[in-house]
Amino acid sequence: MCGIWALFGLDKQPLTCICENFNKISHRGPEAFKIEFDNRVKNGYLGFHRLAIVDSLYGMQPMRILKHPHLFLLCNGEIYNWDNLRKQHDFEYATKCDVEVIMHMYNYAGANNVAQSLDGVFAFCLMDVLNRRILIARDPYGVRPLFRLRSENGQLAICSESKGLMAISKHISGNWTLEPFPPGHYEIYEILDDGRTKLLESCRYHKPGGKPSFRWYISWGALNPKDVPGNIRKLLSGAVEKRLMTDRQIGCLLSGGLDSSLIAALLMKLAKENKLPYQIQSFAIGMGDSPDIIAARQVARHIGTKHHEVIFTQQDVIDVLNDVIYSLETYDITTIRASIGMYLLSKYIKQNTETTVIFSGEGADELAQGYIYFRDAPNARDAHNESLRLLHDIYLYDGLRADRTTSAFSLELRVPFLDLQFTNYYLSLSPESRQPQGGIEKHLLRSAFDGTGLLPDNILWRHKEAFSDGVASIKKSLFRVIQEIVEDRVSNEDLENAGTKYPHCTPKTKEAYYYRRVFESHYEGQAENFTPYFWMPRWVKNITDPSARFIKHYAAKEENWLKT
């Protein structure tokens, strides 16, 4: 995990722009930074904040190698098939850094064939000073963040987070747009003589569930078409195993729910098989008697992690709420609620352990129909399409939450459920088989691991718990705690006039209004570009709050599985 930043074509006070903006993403890479200028590109600057995950000696960026001296690479990501591509194309690497393969693929196959050849998560900017080209690309599910600022006059800037671009806009004359770079896309620009840019091509190279064009980590021949559960286990295990690639210590977030528990259990199993020289640490968070704390404790005992429990209070929420909104770059209600516990947990990990690479269960709810409202889907096809929609937009909501809360404390997140091979296979199964069965969401995924002993049965079949609810006390949901905090911070008059002040995604509650006000104080005017809509459950009538607790199927009660 790192932070990338680049600026092209700004001829007024470029050094001021660098000073005002570049360091705002230092949390993504606190171990080293570098800014580079080459006079072959007028008014072109490349910046990098590094968190060394592999090849601490030669992995600094902008990356340049002797074999292709005209190329400059900025990349935040991990390329899991870098060694396979080396063998496939007989590349000669100058470093042990996986992202170097991007430069070789560009030289070998051209700008139009780089992104789709990569099995990994990434956001990169490659500058070719010989051919006067810039290639920008982002991974299919937007696991690694990227924002793009572009003016009508050809000025261009990119950054891992928008906070590193906001102040540049005041130096731009004319119209400009700041927005997330779309996942699954690449863009090619021409570098003009004055350093400004011209967009030549914008291409979508992958859609959710699409079949990857690279060689698969698990060969098709290793899968049995008559054994769907076995294939699911094999592919998810492979997704975890390929993500063990790191020189830093690995840990996992553990809520005690199905998703994080499966990933944690597979991680422990594969860590032993791969003989990692340390014990995997797991981390859980909650308020007092929260369901997640109790369930996670049981899972940790079962799989054998070195387990940490973090208890937070209402005062902790008060202390970090504004910082969470700034880190997230959104005002979405459910995203902010769900981020508070993850933010506090990441802070604990950073301050108390050597763990740097964090595995988590994001993506399972979108992929495997884990949200409770999927029980109300009109039919299997609609449910399938909803999964595709959620995966398409995950970078704006759960994916955003997972990245920003961990990167705020210089941790690198890894999410096996969003593996391209696994998502392709899972979404290729019959839509009917992926629906909730007997009122149980993610039934197919649960069934695949039933009887394996990987997890206790009561955890494997534990009902869906909204994260912001699961970390809270049984007596009071986290959103109730937050609503009490913001009650006196927003007046009734403010709320009455919200439609005039905020016509896009107008806040309907004091909580939503407060989030929006804090967001606008940092990212004024960007609400529509950053958050196109509030995340809400579908097919549920008379619901105005995104919390799962308002859905009739929700059954967050203290049940037998709470017994320790």
> Over the chain, what is the mean pLDDT?
93
Q: Coil, helix or strand for 445?
A: helix
What type of residue sits at position 41? V
> Whose CA is closest to 422, among 380, 461, 383, 368?
368
Residues of the chain with CATH 3.40.50.620: 220-465
CA distance 233 to 210: 20
pLDDT in tens, 323-357: 999 999 999 999 999 999 999 999 999 999 999 99
pLDDT at residue 546 in the model: 80
CA 257 to chain centre: 19
Q: Is 163 left (phi over 0), alpha (psi -120 to 50) or beta?
A: alpha
Q: Which of 17-31, 277-291, 468-482 has the lowest mean pLDDT?
A: 468-482
- Tell me the residue ranges of DSSP E strands in 160-248: 176-180, 185-191, 197-204
CA distances to 141, 161, 252, 253, 546 from 346, in Å: 22, 18, 11, 9, 24
Please return the burial class of 353, using the count of CB atoms within 10 Å of its CB with bins 0-12, 13-18 and 19+: middle
What type of residue sits at position 523? Y
Residue 1 has pLDDT above 80, yes or no: no
CA distance 40 to 44: 9
pLDDT at residue 161 in the model: 98
Predicted TM-score (pTM) of the model is 0.95
List of residues 6+ apart from 315 with CB closer than 8 A: none
CA distance 91 to 79: 15
Residues of the chain with CATH 3.60.20.10: 3-204
**Do residues 366 and 415 touch, judged by C-beta distance below 8 A?**
no
What type of residue sits at position 188? I
CATH, domain range 3-204: 3.60.20.10
Do the bridges between strand 133-138 and strand 120-128 make them parallel or antiparallel, or are there none, so unpaired?
A: antiparallel
Domain covering 220-465 assigned CATH 3.90.660.10 in the classification: no
Confidence of residue 560 (pLDDT cuts 50, 70, 90): very low
Torsion sign (Cα): 110, 112, 115, 119: negative
pLDDT in tens, 277-326: 999 999 999 988 788 899 999 999 999 999 999 999 999 999 999 999 99
Residues paired with residue 463 on neighbouring β-strands, in sequence order: none
Q: 468: number of CA atoms within 13 Å, CB side?
A: 21
What's 417's DSSP letter? G
Tokens 């809360």 found at: 405
CA distance 4 to 74: 6
CA distance 243 to 303: 19
pLDDT at residue 295 in the model: 95
Please return the burial class of 146, using the count of CB atoms within 10 Å of its CB with bins 0-12, 13-18 and 19+: buried
2 flagged as catalytic = yes
Please check if 98 is assigned to a binding site: yes
Instruction: Single out the catalytic residue among 2, 17, 75, 125.
Output: 2
pLDDT in tens, 129-186: 999 999 999 999 999 999 999 999 999 999 999 999 999 988 887 899 999 999 999 9
pLDDT at residue 66 in the model: 96
**Do residues 417 and 264 touch, judged by C-beta distance below 8 A?**
no
Q: Coil, helix or strand for 481?
A: helix
SS (HEC) of 310-338: EECCHHHHHHHHHHHHHHHCCCCHHHHHH
Please check if 285 is assigned to a binding site: yes
What type of residue sits at position 128? D
